[in-house]
Structures are given as structure tokens and as C-alpha cells.
């Protein structure tokens, strides 16, 4: 009887271990790094080779404490390539300490103070007759639609960006990787 219980316990441990291993293998990869749902948005973003400019901007804007806090937050995270579409001079000016407020506004135009997975966005789009409006922490409004290549966000200036990696679960919310920097209305 005792051997049976020990064998059952060992089998259960082996199964849990196998599940943990397969769960780690199933972690989404962003910028070459696994994104752990046990880390915060900032805790994961710093490991992504595709988000070095975003991380530097978040630090320069003083948003690390906010995006490391409880949340939930949905972050539409532009890649370095997306930031590369902005002129070097404009980006350098935005990153200067005297422009911290403006940089913070640009960045918080990528953050929704809620947990918005793509399934929820898709439902909102359907309920909105083909588009949904997402209000951001920066006071911007993003329009979400389903395009030929998936979910598309459009900022207040008509600049459209595509969600390239969706539903990356974080401890304090979710990240959706996007291929365009969203800007507030001019």
C-alpha cells in the first residue's frame, strides 16, 4: 500500500515536472527572449532585443514604476524597427530630459489601463460594426480593426500599425507587439 502511494506521488511529480517543462517551452518568444507570465511588462521587455528603444524611452520618461506596478495594462509595444520609421533627429529630441512630458504622452498613447486580449478586441470590433475605439492612458484614442493581415491599430493622425505578435501575457497585463509608433493628435 505504501509503495503504491509513493509510486503514485512520484508519477504525479513527474507529470507536474513534464507540464512545467512544456509550459516553459510554450512561452512566447519576443525579440529572441521568452516572455514569462510571471514577470511584469518591464521585466520582460528589457529582455527583448526588438524593444531596446522602447525600454530606453520608458526609462527616460520615468514610466518604469507605472509599467512595473500591479495593472492591469495592455501595452501596444512598438519594435525598434517601428521607432526606426521616425527620423533620428525627432527621436533624439523626444528623448531629451526637457521633453520628458511629451515622451511620456507618446508612450502612454500605447497603454490601455485594462487587460485587452485579442479575443476581447475582436468582440469589441464586431460590436462596433467593424471597428473599436480604445482609450489610452495618454488621452489618445486608437481605432482597432481587422485588416487583411490581422488586427490593425490606427492613431489619431491616421497612422496604421499592425499587431505582429499578440496576447503576450504578463504578470500585470498583456503586450501586443506592433510595427508602428502611435502618436497623439498633432
| pTM score | 0.85
% of the chain residues with pLDDT over 90? 82
Distance CA 99, CA 60 (A): 10
Confirm if 127 and 177 have CB atoms less than 8 A apart.
no
The per-residue pLDDT for range 105-129, each reduced to its tens digit, is: 999 999 999 999 999 999 999 999 9
Q: How many C-beta atoms surround the C-beta of residue 162 within 10 A?
A: 15
| pLDDT over threshold 90, residue 161 | yes
Cα–chain center distance at 74: 6
Residue 25 confidence (pLDDT): 55
Amino acid at each position: 500500500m505504501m509503495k503504491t502511494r509513493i509510486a503514485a506521488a512520484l508519477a504525479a511529480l513527474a507529470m507536474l515536472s513534464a507540464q512545467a517543462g512544456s509550459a516553459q517551452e510554450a512561452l512566447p518568444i519576443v525579440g529572441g527572449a521568452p516572455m514569462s507570465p510571471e514577470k511584469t511588462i518591464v521585466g520582460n521587455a528589457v529582455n527583448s532585443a526588438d524593444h531596446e528603444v522602447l525600454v530606453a524611452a520608458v526609462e527616460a520618461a520615468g514610466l518604469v514604476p507605472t509599467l512595473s506596478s500591479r495593472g492591469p495594462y495592455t501595452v501596444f509595444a512598438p519594435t525598434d524597427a517601428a521607432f526606426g520609421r521616425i527620423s533620428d533627429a525627432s527621436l533624439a529630441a523626444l528623448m531629451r530630459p526637457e521633453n520628458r512630458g511629451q515622451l511620456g504622452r507618446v508612450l502612454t498613447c500605447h497603454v490601455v489601463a485594462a487587460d485587452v486580449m485579442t479575443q476581447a478586441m475582436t468582440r469589441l470590433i464586431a460590436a462596433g460594426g467593424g471597428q473599436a475605439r480604445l482609450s489610452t492612458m495618454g488621452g489618445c484614442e486608437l481605432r482597432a480593426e481587422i485588416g487583411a493581415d490581422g488586427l490593425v491599430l490606427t492613431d489619431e493622425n491616421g497612422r496604421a500599425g499592425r499587431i505582429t505578435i499578440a496576447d503576450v501575457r504578463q504578470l500585470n497585463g498583456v503586450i501586443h507587439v506592433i510595427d508602428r509608433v502611435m502618436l497623439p493628435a498633432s
